[in-house]
Amino acid sequence: MGTSAPPIPPAEITALETELVQGMRGSSRVDVRRACKSVTRKASALLKASPEAPNRYAVLGIQFKGQKRLLGLENSEANIAALFEICRQLMDAPDEYAEARFEAEMLLLQRDQA
């Protein structure tokens, strides 16, 4: 399944990651929540614009981290559904993203066994 789609610019991925890391250091739950929502929205927009990019799993991994943190702050059905959708997408990730894929697989397994 060779893809000729252009990759997402590494600078955009780095900016997302930086925003998430800095957002996690927010001075309040509201600041952290806002940063997580911002990162997940931006990641979603990148993925929508480049759905076949070979490095889209790096963006999904960042989105996954942000969504997990968001769920910890705001346990809602919408956040749970969004997290499981990201997990489902990560299941197709190649081996270089094995860590995120494994964690996603474990969350889906726990959900299915519950």
Q: Minimal CA–CA distance to 81: which of 95, 70, 92?
A: 70
Measured in whole angstroms, the distance separating CA 49 from the mean position of its chain's CA atoms is 15
CB neighbours of 18 closer than 8 A, spacing ≥ 6? none
Task: Convert the pLDDT of each residue in 59-114 to its tens digit.
Answer: 999 999 999 999 999 999 999 999 999 999 999 999 999 999 999 999 999 999 98
Predicted TM-score (pTM) of this structure = 0.91
Mean pLDDT, to the nearest integer, of 2-30? 90
| pLDDT-based confidence at residue 1 (cuts at 50, 70, 90) | very low
